[in-house]
Structure 1
Amino acid sequence: MTSSSSSASASGGQQPHAVVRRLTARGRGEPHRVASPLELFFDLCFVVAIAQAGAELVHAVAEGRAGHGLLNYAMVFFAIWWAWMNFTWFASAYDNDDLLYRLVTLVQIFGVLVLAAGISPSFRTHDFLALWLGYVIMRVAMATQWLRVARSATGAERTMALRYAGGVLLCQVGWTGLVLLPVSARVWVFVVMVIAELCVPLYAERACTTSWHPHHIAERYGLFTIIVLGETVAAATVAVKSAVGEHDVGELLPIAAGGLLIVFSAWWVYFAVPIHGHLRSNRQAFLWGYGHYLIFASAAAIGAGLEVAVEQTVGTAHISTLSASAAVTLPTALYLLTLWALHSRYFKVGIAQQILLPLAALLVICCTFLGDWAVLAAGLASALTVVAGVTLTARRAARGHGTRQTSSDSS
């Protein structure tokens, strides 16, 4: 990326009232880069879609159709996550905040709302039309942004932008299989098209690497994690509130307390390490960014699981206590294990720190078999993991300080 394009974009970022400017790359070393108000608003609009996906997962699991619900949830959440992720990385590299950029982003937000409206039909009647339409609106708008980059760029960067635009548009043709082919073939359409979508950035950036900003990307992912965890808290609160009037609060208190401990621990372990220092290349960033599908999806599924646990406790979900407990513990364990694999292990020193999150995931799974106390036990196991992690970090820091002090005294 040339310094001229970086400086042009930096100066462009200081002209928020311009109607149309060249969409040129921002500098990767740009100081004080933070999420913009438009990006925060964009994230909030995704809450609607996440809430709808979680609610439909609750209905499916509570009705004893967990396999069907999980499959549809995985498909819907991919559409939500992939559209969000592509916008996030593009904005990190090219956000110039002109009027046209804002209007195209507004079109993407409209696509999110259409997609959210299509989530219930996709779960209940296998009608993917509205879901497909919302996704296409978002992705075509994204291709439009890449065509703007291609118009402003030259050489390898222009090739990269055209590959992005062409790949995105070609994939939308493939996604029509979800509405044209029989229901039995749609799972295979989904698998093939997910692979195709994931390959577009890998292919496009062989020509040129986008100048995404490590601090900005880390902040954007962190903010979206908070939004997803917040939706989990909201879902659990609604479930408890709906049951309090007709049932003993004492029955629900272990679930509410355990759920709060799980969500608080999930927040704590995510932000315990400064991940931006690990994002030094596309190879590292792609693995980390793609892997967040499991982190985001499992975090949102925790909220759905808490709702299922409440409904089972009050008798409105006709499933076993074991199944209701698993609806909470399994996504919690997946969250902890995926977070360790993608995010935390690079900053852990020594075997004790390295095995902490995998061990916590195993303990949470074991809590599944504790009956009515499963959710509370999982919350306590998660909280103890946080305490253990803080203790181990403090002890290591103290030993390091003591070693430095001894070395200083000797010299």
Structure 2
Amino acid sequence: MALGFPPMFASIEHGEYVDSRVMVAGYVIMRIALVGQWLRAAKQDPARRSACLTYALWVTVAQFGWIAGALVHKSIPVTFAMVAVLIGVETLGPIIAEYRAGGTPWHAHHIAERYGLLAIIALGEGVVGTVASLSAVVSAQGWSYDAAFVVVAGIGLTFGMWWSYFVVPQAELLRVHRERSFWFGYLPIVMFGAIVATGAGLHVAAYYIEHHSKLSSVETVLAVALPVGLYVISIYTLYFVIVRKIALFHLVLLVITAAVLGVAVWLAAAGFSMANCLLVVTLAPLVTVIGYEVAGHRHAAADIAKALKNDR
């Protein structure tokens, strides 16, 4: 799949059609392996054979769609429409399998752990982006305060996003609200996308520092600040859709986070160095971390206790 990204973006840049053949080929190979796993599960677990075969069927149908779409030269709007339909097919299969075909067993703590590990893998992009930004600063200015600020900003931002991800007791919430598992299953797609986009934003900052970017300082800071903001929002959204409760304290933390990111953009507009702006962006996820350690953990514990009481 990774090998398919350059030709795909190159085709978009030329504006003729979207070339997704290599990327789709990689994706289909992974999904075919998944079909094999579902067929094996269907054979070994007769009680859940219907659900396993439903998964296998819908995954297979979706792959025919991806392959057909990749072989046709299509415009960008048509591509977006096709992708939306096929994502719908990929999503509909699990819903039917779980709610109409008997479902499959799963362990809440194991699922939460798997998602947490995937978040850590995605956060690795932030470390790579930090190295790129640091290399750009050192190449342009040598070792300086700006170089130190970039290190603190990049690693601090990555660490803050990691910490804020795990402050929510996801396993416990998922255990007492199993009926809302699909929200937990699909909403993190946005979260992981925001994590990776933050790392990409740090790469953009590196290009800006090296004077290889056509973006302004404000646009460059936004390339980091916007995905960080989306990431923080997705954390609170995930908590809300599982607990189904809007906490005033959470809204206050979101407002403070938005203010921090706004200050970073304002500093860029005012002419401050990119390193200083990134340092301010680093404070955004720390708002959630500090808020949780000060009072948020009590809110979460109360919500879990209430859910357990209602479950009985």
Q: Which interval holds the TM-score relative to the shorter structure?
A: 0.7 to 0.9
CA contact (8 A) 1:215 1:276 kept: yes
Partner of 1:194: 87
Q: What is the Cα deviation at residue 242 of structure 1?
A: 4.3
Question: Counterpart of 1:317 in 2: which secondary structure?
Answer: coil
1:257 corresponds to which of 152, 157, 168:
152
Q: What is the Cα deviation at residue 193 of structure 1?
A: 0.6
1: CA distance, partners of 2:244 / 2:85: 36
Partner of 2:54: 163
Query: Does residue 211 of the first structure (1) align with residue 105 of the second (2)?
Result: yes
Structure 1 unaligned regions, length at least 5: 1-114, 401-411
Q: What is the Cα deviation at residue 282 of structure 1?
A: 5.0
Which aligned pairs between 1:11-410 and structure 2 lie closer than 5 A? Answer: 115-125=1-11, 126-154=18-46, 157-176=48-67, 177-184=69-76, 185-205=78-98, 206-248=100-142, 249-280=144-175, 283-343=179-239, 351=247, 353-366=249-262, 367-371=264-268, 372=273, 373-393=276-296
Change (3 A) 1:339 1:141: same
2: CA distance, partners of 1:369 / 1:274: 34
Change (3 A) 1:128 1:276: same
Q: Deviations over 1:57-78 (max 9, x none)?
A: xxxxxxxxxxxxxxxxxxxxxx
Q: What is the Cα deviation at residue 291 of structure 1?
A: 0.2
CA contact (8 A) 2:5 2:23 kept: yes
1: CA distance, partners of 2:26 / 2:160: 34
Q: What is the Cα deviation at residue 217 of structure 1?
A: 0.6
Q: What is the Cα deviation at residue 268 of structure 1?
A: 1.2
Question: Counterpart of 1:319 in 2: which secondary structure?
Answer: coil
- The amino acid of 1:127's aligned partner reads D
Structure 2 unaligned regions, length at least 5: 12-17, 303-312
2: CA distance, partners of 1:387 / 1:164: 42
Q: What is the Cα deviation at residue 344 of structure 1?
A: 7.3
2: CA distance, partners of 1:264 / 1:353: 23
CA contact (8 A) 1:333 1:360 kept: no
2: CA distance, partners of 1:183 / 1:384: 42
Q: What is the Cα deviation at residue 137 of structure 1?
A: 0.7
Q: What is the Cα deviation at residue 262 of structure 1?
A: 1.9
Change (3 A) 1:198 1:393: closer
1: CA distance, partners of 2:242 / 2:191: 17
Partner of 1:58: none
CA contact (8 A) 2:43 2:49 kept: yes
Change (3 A) 1:389 1:328: same
- The amino acid of 1:335's aligned partner reads Y
Report the TM-score when normalising by structure 1. 0.63
Change (3 A) 1:187 1:225: same
Q: What is the Cα deviation at residue 254 of structure 1?
A: 3.4
Change (3 A) 1:127 1:243: farther
Question: Counterpart of 1:306 in 2: which secondary structure?
Answer: helix
Bigger Cα displacement from structure 2, 351-360 vs 180-189: 351-360
Equivalenced residue count is 282
Question: Percent same amino acid at aligned positions?
Answer: 32
2: CA distance, partners of 1:131 / 1:334: 26
CA contact (8 A) 1:356 1:389 kept: no
Q: What is the Cα deviation at residue 210 of structure 1?
A: 0.9
Change (3 A) 1:349 1:209: closer
Q: What is the Cα deviation at residue 243 of structure 1?
A: 4.0
Report the TM-score when normalising by structure 2. 0.82
1: CA distance, partners of 2:130 / 2:224: 11
CA contact (8 A) 2:260 2:283 kept: no
- The amino acid of 2:70's aligned partner reads L
